[in-house]
Amino acid sequence: MSNPTTSTTREAAEAFSASYAAAVAMTVSPTTSIEDIAAALASHWNPGAVVFMFGRITTFPIKDPKEHPWYNTNLRLLKRFEESELGYRVELVRQRVEVYSEGAAQCWLTWKCVPREGAKFEGKGWEWENLYGWRRPMGDQGKGFWEYVISDHEVGEMMKRIPGFYEFDD
């Protein structure tokens, strides 16, 4: 029999993962602007969230307290997807949630990139799995946020196809 706290945490983390997947699914609509997609994605991240990839640790500095640092990061990546002729259609394939504590869970989300019609990579989509750390602040019954992501698979799969994809000049 499962602990009620564990069940509640799992349900909250699963709902949050589904909400994030819905934000990512906005990439499927040709009428949704990349600015709106970037904002929807950013709303799921703690501004101080950490990205781990291949032993490298990345955070995004808060330059303007009125602007979420993940908005600009997401916007840049969406533009990079578009410029690379991939398009930016990404879909959730599956999820798995493991509860760590009353307010924390790890979420394994498997994504699929579906390159746009007529693109260099058309018909050559691929999947990857990221590990996200979900957190609900203590005493808060809100939806929570991503606290970290381990994205070795995402970055590795992209670099096989487009070396330098994640390299920016700044």
Task: Give me 146's structure tokens.
Answer: 């991503």
Task: Say if 167 falls within a structural domain.
Answer: no
> Could you tell me if residue 57 is inside a domain?
yes
Asked whether residue 133 is domain-assigned, the answer is yes
> Looking at the domain assignment, is residue 100 inside a domain?
yes
- H/E element holding 102? none
Question: Domain range holding 78?
Answer: 4-161
Residues of the chain with confidence (pLDDT) below 70: 1-5, 62-66, 141, 168-170
Nearest to 147 by CA among 15, 13, 5: 13
Q: What is the CATH number of the domain that holds 49?
A: 3.10.450.50
**Tens of pLDDT, residues 24-68:** 999 888 889 999 999 999 999 988 889 999 888 888 776 665 677
Task: For residue 168, tell me if it sits in a domain.
Answer: no
Number of domains forming the structure of the chain: 1
Running DSSP on this structure, what letter comes out for residue 137? -
**144 in Cβ contact with 12 (< 8 Å):** yes
Angstrom CA distances, 29 to 56, 79, 90, stand at: 33, 15, 11
